[in-house]
Structure 1
Amino acid sequence: MDYISTGDSIEMDCNINAILPTVYVEILRRQSAKTISDEELHRIVFDFLKQQKSHQPLVKCDTESSISELVEEVTISQPILLHDAEFEDVKFFTYTVNNYNAEIETIETADGDNDDIPASQHWILPNREFQGQWEYLHYEDDLKENLLRFSKTIMLFALKNVDINAISCNKLVLLHGPPGTGKTSLCKSLAQKISIHMNDRFRYTHLFEINSHSLFSKWFSESGKLVLKMFTTIKDVAEDPLSLVVILIDEVESIAYARDSVSSHEPSDSIRVVNSLLTQLDQLRRQTNVLVLTTSNLSSSIDIAFVDRADLKQYVGYPTPVAIYHIFKTGIDELIKVKIVTNPNENDDEWNSEGAIHLLDISKKCEGLSGRSLRKLPLLAHAWFVHKNSVDLHTFLNALDDAVDKHLADTLAIEKKT
């Protein structure tokens, strides 16, 4: 949407195409396909996708695929819209993944016992460990897409050097909600997406997951110094303008505990840690290549000064029945792919209506369960009620239904005992 100045008034040039959702196509290029240009690869993939009948967001390019020698997989943000889109309407991102596991970053203590503290895990993104994770997370209300857009806007403002005195931007995101809702996985997969979408600007993306519990020293007053050392290491990496640094602080309430809740009988080290963390965050806000993602299961325990610094405070709750349906269907589709479950309608893109209705009924019974619990239920269904290597979809849905009933009954029994 363009704004055209006409004297003292402002008119809007409303181009309907400008407000349609952008179709993003992410192409995981094979390491052996280095000779072909990005532009040529984009054309080949676009033509390939146009020929596909399926509208799946993730396309695995196996040996039977015509582009398998060039591409491992393709991810589409709006697969339904791609059918009518022109090549010029699509935003392509081409990337390769890092196959190395996380490195443990340690910091030295001053207590003389030679036991370095494992302060964080450090990945180079995009990383194989997080590949496809984004697509397996299901939330309602476009939560994932809104987070990605917001994060990209934060980085855009930073890279354009928008004056933070005019528009406050700390590049700090807080995801809060009950445990088991996928907040940590969402942060890691968000960092993976950002690394892909911004690889034209940054040559490297570093993800540091800070081990909050390790930053409390057994020696009085040492914890605040450990926080300083940890962030000093991170800031050294951020000195490279071609590197994007994403910091993940899981269960941030453990190092950003509300200072007004600290008893006078508790050690002041707790307050020092919070003060040190806030100081480091204030220093990082002027770094154009740093983004901080945090999670909390107890947002009421977080220091108000930290909460106030967060640009976005997003609640992540238990999945709705529709989201639960997609969580289950994703898991069952995986079992169909490996032939543990057989689908009589395997030539169709969607299940038959009977199977879909049954799964939705099961999903409605699961409202209030965490995503962590939901993803275990297909495994439990097979272990408890199937007892053979292969089963048809109808039988497996009955087993899943029984597994849900058993899980709910077991959970209720535990709650009564406590």
Structure 2
Amino acid sequence: MRRLRPLPILILALATAFGSPVLAQDAALGANVDSLINYAKTRNPEYAAMQAEAEASGERVTPAGALPDPKFRTELRDITRMGEQSATLAPNRVGSTRYLLMQDIPWFGKRDLKREIAELEAEGAKGRALGTWADIAGRIKVNFAQLYYVHRNEQLTREILDLMTRLEKIARVRYAGGLAAQQDVIRAQVEQTTLRDELIALEAERRQLHARLNALLARPGHAPLAAPSQLRPLPAPARLDYVALEERVRARNPQLFTDESRIRAAEKTRDLTYKNRYPDFTLGVSPTQYRNEVKEWELMLEMNIPLQQSSRRAQERESESMLNAARARKEATANQVLSELSESLAGIEAARQTENLLSNSLLPQTELTFQAAIAGYETGKVDFATLLDAQRQIRQARQNLIKTQAEAQMRLAEIERLLGEDL
């Protein structure tokens, strides 16, 4: 055998050492919702685009408040020297050369208003980026809760399928002994077929949810995800107080933050429109060259005359209307957001009470009923239809419990989307 070289072995060892955490991280992706959110925050292209737009808006602030570029003009006068020479473009051979350097200067305060408008528009772009991320994170949380429900429902269905297989064996034994009808065996087989059909539907739904989550993570739709292992704990009821959450929503909701930036930008735009009643200026300095010497200096002042009053009044009315529209839009957004907050709080409270009822009352009762039905069927005191009904009751109770837990998580995700942050 050839002797192994130490360098390739070292490279292989380093690759394994540094690659194993990445592989472990990818293998655990999807086990909990936090892993999905952390992965999406650095890779989701929609959020990356909104961040880039926010950065671009921030770069518009400096140009908005800057002076316009100065202008330079050159005039060659009497290029033939009263017909004494051929036409020339040499400044020292023409009759005179006039140089003009001009600078446009807006009316006092206009530059500051333009810069403030750009700053507020940049804040609005940041708010839109935050809103985009809140929406993406909310969709990840909702899809994860749905995937958890499908995964747990699939596990429950397989458990019930195993149970029905055992019940079929019991029915076969009783049928062989003449203690039960053949119909019991057939019913057990039909129930198993129904459960297998449900497993096919759950498998298809799980793949669809995988594709949705992978799209939010900027991964191929068929990329594997770990099975969801647990849901986040629900906040304590004291942290779900409507009054406290209303204040947080008004202060931190990305949509309201963006609408507030638009209102302030509209106010500054209105002020800038009224500033257009006053003229802008152009200052200039002009040396004149004769032959090889500069013998004359001129100063220039130019301004526009704001005579088109009807046009300016229309622009002012437009700015006032845009400001009113921005205020009304924020009020409409606040009403919608607070309505959704109230609805989600009611939903999460109902889910909490339903989960408590199912866990502490209904589920133990159905389990006792099922155990009693099995014992009764084995002794011939209960028919197979009663046993199937008890089995369906306990399965329905477990499904409702899982569904309620998933719905509570979806309501929590909606509240956090409205807040723009986790509770």
TM-score range, shorter chain: under 0.3
Q: Which has the higher relative contact order, 1 or 2, with Cα contacts under 8 A spaced 6 or more apart?
A: 2
Please, what TM-score do these two structures have when normalized by structure 2? 0.20
Structure 1 or 2: larger strand share?
1
Please, what TM-score do these two structures have when normalized by structure 1? 0.20
For the pair shown, which has the larger CA radius of gyration, 1 or 2? 2
Structure 1 or 2: larger helix share?
2
